[in-house]
Amino acid sequence: MGDSTDPPVIEVADLVRTFGDRVVLNDISFTVQRGETLVIMGGSGCGKSTLLRHIIGSMKPTSGSVKIFGEEITAMNEREMGNVRKRFGMLFQSGALLASLTVGENVALPMFQHTRKSPDEIEEIVEQKLKMVGLSGFEDLKPAEISGGMKKRVGLARALALDPELLFSDEPTSGLDPIMTAVVDQLTLKLTHGEHMTAVVVTHDMTSAFRIATRMIMLGHGSIVAQGSPDEIRNSANPEVQQFIHGEADGPIPLNLSQEEHQHHQLVKPRPFGARHRFHRKTV
Ligand SMILES: Nc1ncnc2c1ncn2[C@@H]1O[C@H](COP(=O)(O)OP(=O)(O)OP(=O)(O)O)[C@@H](O)[C@H]1O
Ligand SMILES: [Mg+2]
In sequence order, which residues have a C-beta less than 8 Å from that of residue 128 and are 6 or more positions away?
A: none
pLDDT tens, position by position, 131-174: 999 899 999 999 999 988 889 899 999 999 999 999 999 998 88
- Choice from 49, 51, 56, 201 to test ligand 1 binding pocket (greatest atom count within 8 A of CB): 49
Ligand 2 mean position to 49 CA, how many Å? 4
pLDDT the model gives residue 248: 80
Question: In angstroms, what is the span from residue 30 Cα to ligand 2's centroid?
Answer: 19
Check residue 252 and give its pLDDT: 79
Tell me which of 48, 152, 204 to substitute to probe ligand 1's pocket, judged by most ligand atoms within 8 Å of the beta carbon.
48
The order of strands in the sheet holding 198-202 is 88-91, 166-170, 198-202, 37-41, 215-220, 223-228
Q: What are phi and psi of 136, to 5 degrees?
A: -60, 135
**pLDDT one-digit tens code per residue, 178-205:** 988 988 898 888 888 877 899 999 998 9
Ligand at shortest distance from the CA of 50: 1
Point out the least confidently predicted range of 120-134, 240-254, 266-280: 266-280
**Cα 127 from Cα 125, distance rounded (Å):** 5
Residue nearest to atom 19 of ligand 1 (CA): 45
Q: What is the pLDDT of residue 284?
A: 47
Write the pLDDT tens digit of every residue in 38-47: 999 998 889 9
Question: For 69-111, how does the pLDDT look when each residue is reduced to its tens digit (9 = 90+)?
Answer: 999 999 999 889 988 999 999 998 877 899 999 999 999 999 9
In 3D space, the residue among 14, 12, 30, 1 whose CA is nearest the CA of residue 216 turns out to be 30
Indicate which residue's Cα is closest to atom 25 of ligand 1: 44
Please name each of the domains of the chain with its CATH number.
1-87+200-270 (3.40.50.300)
Indicate whether this model's pTM tops 0.75.
Answer: yes
